[in-house]
Amino acid sequence: MANIGRRTGLGLTATAAAFLAISAFARAPGGAPDRSPADRVQDQMVLALACHETGQKNEARDALEAALRLDPDYAPALTLMAHYHHRGPQAK
């Protein structure tokens, strides 16, 4: 976890970059546009983490809400959303 907070050349922290890489490898062969619901939830979570770690708190919250609309029991999204509820509706 020592890499959290260090930015890559793309402006993402190492954590967000790792999630983006994992998501890219998890895609269907041939880049099929019809993603499974689980893949779409994971994509929203990747977006939420990238936004959260780059200071785009409102965009992160929007992505978390989208993930939770797709799967209301998705634990990673619930965990990060709890941070926003604790800090207030517009946590910054």
Residue 7 lies in a domain: no
Residue 53 lies in a domain: yes
The count of domains in the chain is 1
Residue 61 lies in a domain: yes
Instruction: Residue 47: give the domain boundaries.
Output: 14-26+34-87
Residue 4 lies in a domain: no
Please tell me the pTM assigned to this model: 0.60
H, E, C per residue of 15-83: HHHHHHHHHHHCCCHHHCCCCCHHHHHHHHHHHHHHHHHCCCHHHHHHHHHHHHHHCCCCHHHHHHHHH
pLDDT digits (tens, 9 = 90+) for 20-49: 555 555 555 555 567 788 999 999 999 999
Residue 68 lies in a domain: yes
